[in-house]
Amino acid sequence: MSGAFEDSRLETSALPGPAEAALRYLASTGARIRSDATELDASARLAATDLERPRGVLVVGPEARLVRSVLEPVCPVPMVAWPFDRLPAWVGPLDLVVALDTETDLLGAAPAQSCLESVAEAERRGAGILLAGRDGSSAWRAAGHRSAVRLPVLSGDPMSAAVVVLALLGQIGIGPHVDPEQVARAADLVAEAASPHHDLATNPAKEMACALADADPLLWGGSVLAARSARRCAEALRRASGRAALSADADALMPVITGTPVRDPFADPEIDGLPTRPVLVVMDDGEAGDAEGRARLEAACRQHDVSARRIGLPLGMEEAGPVDRYVTLLLQGRFSAAYLALGLDRLVLDSRAGAR
For 270, other C-beta atoms within 10 Å of its C-beta total 7
When computed from its CA atoms, the radius of gyration of the chain, rounded to whole angstroms, is 21
76 and 152 part of one domain: yes
Together in a domain, 119 and 169: yes
Assess whether 325 and 343 both reside in one domain. Answer: yes
Q: Are residues 100 and 225 in the same domain?
A: no
How many whole angstroms separate alpha carbon 85 and alpha carbon 74? 26
Q: Are residues 66 and 37 part of one domain?
A: yes
> If we measure between CA atoms, which residue out of 190, 189, 188, 198 comes closest to residue 10?
198
Q: Are residues 146 and 199 in the same domain?
A: no
Q: Answer with the one of 182, 199, 225 that is the final residue of a domain.
A: 182
What are the pLDDT digits (tens) for 224-273? 999 999 999 999 999 999 999 999 999 999 999 999 988 777 666 666 66
pLDDT of residue 353: 39
- Give the tens place of pLDDT for each residue, 128-139: 999 999 888 889
- Residue 75 to residue 69: CA distance in whole angstroms: 10
- Flag whether pLDDT at 125 surpasses 60: yes
At residue 325, the pLDDT reads 96
Number of domains in the chain: 2
- Residue 68 CA to residue 55 CA, distance in Å, equals 16
Show the DSSP H helices in the chain as ranges. Answer: 17-27, 29-36, 40-50, 64-71, 116-125, 138-142, 158-171, 180-193, 204-211, 224-241, 250-258, 269-272, 291-303, 322-343
End-to-end CA distance of the chain: 30
Local confidence band at 59 (pLDDT 50, 70, 90 cut-offs): very high
Q: Examine residue 1 and state whether it is found in any structural domain, yes or no.
A: no
Cβ atoms 31, 184 nearer than 8 A: yes
Same domain, 89 and 178: yes
- Which domain does 326 fall in, by range? 7-27+187-355
Confidence of residue 18 (pLDDT cuts 50, 70, 90): confident
pLDDT, residue 355, reads 33
Could you give the dihedral angle defined by the CA atoms of residues 42, 46, 48 and 50, in that order, rounded to the nearest 10 degrees? -170
Both 150 and 274 in a single domain?
Answer: no
Segment 287-314, tens digit of pLDDT: 877 899 999 999 999 999 999 999 999 8
**pLDDT surpasses 50 at 60:** yes
Distance CA 43, CA 151 (A): 6
Q: What is the pTM of this model?
A: 0.91
Q: Model confidence at 354, in pLDDT bands (50, 70, 90)?
A: very low
Whether residue 122 is predicted with pLDDT greater than 90 in this model: the reply is yes
251 in a domain, yes or no? yes
Evaluate whether residue 2 is within a structural domain. Answer: no
239: nearest Cα among 105, 352, 83, 84: 105
- pLDDT of residue 48 exceeding 50: yes
Clarify whether residues 157 and 235 are in a common domain.
Answer: no
Same domain, yes or no, for 306 and 344? yes
Are 175 and 194 found together in one domain? no
Residues 192 and 278 in one domain: yes
Mean residue pLDDT of the chain comes to 89
